[in-house]
Amino acid sequence: MGEDVVRESALAGRVVLWEESARDGAQAKTLMSSDFRVRLARAQGQIFGGDGHRHVVFAAGFPAVCAEEFEAVRQVAVEAEGMVSVAAVCRGRAEDVRQAVAAVKGTAHARVMVVVPVSEAMAQVMTHLPAREALEQGVALVKEARGLDDGVAVDVCLADASRADHGLMAAYAAALTEADAGIVLLADTVGQQLPAETARMFQQVSGAVGDGVVLGSHLHNDLGLGLANTLEALGAGARVLSSSWLGIAERSGMVATEQLLFILAHHAGRAAQLLGAGTEPWWTAPDLTGLPGIARMVSRETGVPLSVTTPIVGSGVGTISTGTPFVHPDLFQPFDPEALLGIEPSVVLTQLASARVVKTVAARLGHQLDDTEVRAATGWVKRYAYRRGHAVVDDGVFSSYLDGLCTEPLEGPR
């Protein structure tokens, strides 16, 4: 087998992100164009400088969907070559595996991921076979894929791992690795696990396999626990972690790439707490200032909105609207958004504005107010917000009010 930089990174204790927004994200009723997938893959790789291919597996799509999807995956494999490790995803069928290999073959650090059911219920639905027989087929498919092109790494995602027998998973994770699989991902396909259950699953499987088996996670967010569960998997030794920009994926999605990456990279002490002391998670530390721009780019492409409360990349990050946080901003935020993300702090006028906030915004707009004017302006801001039933008072509207302050104050629409 040729050089498998993803497997090497994981075995060295480094973190690898398995990016799913272009593939599993399609099941969130989104469709990224092939050109956009290339842009996204390149942008994500650039976060890690020259080591993007070591830290990012970009699941470019599912070639068996149609000819257009095959071509999209092929374009990403060719045009993002070297910046990330590009993967084609397929079902556990021989013809699908051959198609996936064809979509990425001949490009640097190419991979395919074969989805194989591991629970009895999922095996019956996907293959009409008992789980053990479906897993035996998976082993045979890995061998076949490796025989098609030695330069394409083959990974396996064990579907519905959260409802499967841990001993069976461990036995076949070892068998798949012996057949030359690179990574074996354990999937909470329906997002049902609690964090303690995820930790137990990864601990029991990893404890029963040899050091040469590299485990990864693919954990959905149906109970809102995708991030917590992924961190539990990490603590149990998984180093390849599936995620998706803005959390887009089937049903309620999965852990958001921007959140997972930020948590792992923004504070060295926090990373040591999660990965273990003395563990270095990166070959090249990620540039977190790229996160907000990529998130906005994905939002525009997919139509998935960024809200005020979206962690890390939402419009509320770095904003202040009330008195005490305005006076002591460091006390009311867990990190410095300007230093880490390049988001310049801003003061926003709302019905909660204190006199200090109002005076500061007025000064930003070119008005120096005395105490009497500040009291009048503060009262106006609150009345305006409540009349409209909308919290934020636009700078332009407030500026118009200030321009008329010495004559007749403007009233907001009722």
pLDDT of res. 37: 98
251 versus 411: the higher-pLDDT residue is 251
Beta strands in 232-289 (DSSP E): 240-243
Three-state DSSP state, 262: helix
Phi, psi torsion values for 238, nearest 5 degrees: -65, 140
Q: Tell me how far apart the alpha carbons of residues 176 and 27 are, in angstroms, rounded to a whole number.
A: 27
What percent of the chain clears pLDDT 90, i.e. is strictly above it?
Answer: 79
Mean pLDDT of the chain: 92
Residue 276 has pLDDT above 90, yes or no: no
Residue 407 has pLDDT above 60, yes or no: no
Residue 410 has pLDDT above 70, yes or no: no
Centroid of chain to Cα 345: 24
What percent of the chain clears pLDDT 70, i.e. is strictly above it?
Answer: 95
pLDDT of res. 405: 66
Reported confidence tier of residue 280, pLDDT bands at 50, 70, 90: confident
Residues in the chain, overall count: 414
Q: Tell me how far apart the alpha carbons of residues 403 and 130 are, in angstroms, rounded to a whole number.
A: 76
Identity at 47, one-letter amino acid code: I
pLDDT of res. 271: 83
Phi, psi torsion values for 155, nearest 5 degrees: -115, 160
pLDDT of res. 320: 75
Query: Tens of pLDDT along 300-319?
Result: 999 999 998 899 898 888 88
Q: Tell me how far apart the alpha carbons of residues 116 and 99 are, in angstroms, rounded to a whole number.
A: 16
**Span of 90-104, 326-340, 356-370 with lowest mean pLDDT:** 326-340
Phi, psi torsion values for 388, nearest 5 degrees: -85, -20
Residue range(s) in the chain whose domain bears CATH number 3.20.20.70: 5-302
Distances from the Cα of 63 to the Cα of 9, 33, 391, angstroms: 27, 14, 47
Reported confidence tier of residue 3, pLDDT bands at 50, 70, 90: confident
pLDDT of res. 414: 45
CA nearest 95: which of 64, 50, 52, 127? 64
Residue 52 has pLDDT above 50, yes or no: yes
Reported confidence tier of residue 72, pLDDT bands at 50, 70, 90: very high
pLDDT of res. 38: 98
CA nearest 21: which of 324, 229, 313, 304? 304
Identity at 29, one-letter amino acid code: K
CA nearest 17: which of 37, 41, 36? 41
Q: Tell me how far apart the alpha carbons of residues 142 and 128 are, in angstroms, rounded to a whole number.
A: 20
Instruction: For residues 111-137, give the mean pLDDT.
Output: 95
pLDDT of res. 107: 96
pLDDT of res. 326: 67
The answer to whether 144 and 97 have CB atoms below 8 angstroms apart is yes
Residue 111 has pLDDT above 70, yes or no: yes
DSSP letters along 72-121, please? HHHHHHHHTBTTBEEEEEEES-HHHHHHHHHHHTTSTT-EEEEEEE-SHH
Radius of gyration of the chain (CA): 25
Phi, psi torsion values for 371, nearest 5 degrees: -60, -40
| H or E element, residue 60 | strand 56-61
pLDDT of res. 323: 67
Q: What is the pTM of this model?
A: 0.91
pLDDT of res. 406: 46
Give the pairing of strands 184-188 and 215-219. Answer: parallel
CA nearest 378: which of 321, 311, 301? 321
Reported confidence tier of residue 2, pLDDT bands at 50, 70, 90: low
Reported confidence tier of residue 229, pLDDT bands at 50, 70, 90: very high
Reported confidence tier of residue 50, pLDDT bands at 50, 70, 90: very high
Residue 359 has pLDDT above 80, yes or no: yes
Pick the CATH number of 5-302 from 1.10.1840.10, 3.20.20.70, 3.40.50.1100, 3.30.450.40: 3.20.20.70
Q: What is the token pair recorded at 325? A: 């946080």
Query: Tens of pLDDT along 161-198?
Result: 999 999 999 999 999 999 999 999 999 999 999 999 99
In the block, which residue shows the tokens 């064809």? Answer: 102
Residue 401 has pLDDT above 60, yes or no: yes
Residue 408 has pLDDT above 50, yes or no: no
Q: Tell me how far apart the alpha carbons of residues 90 and 145 are, in angstroms, rounded to a whole number.
A: 11
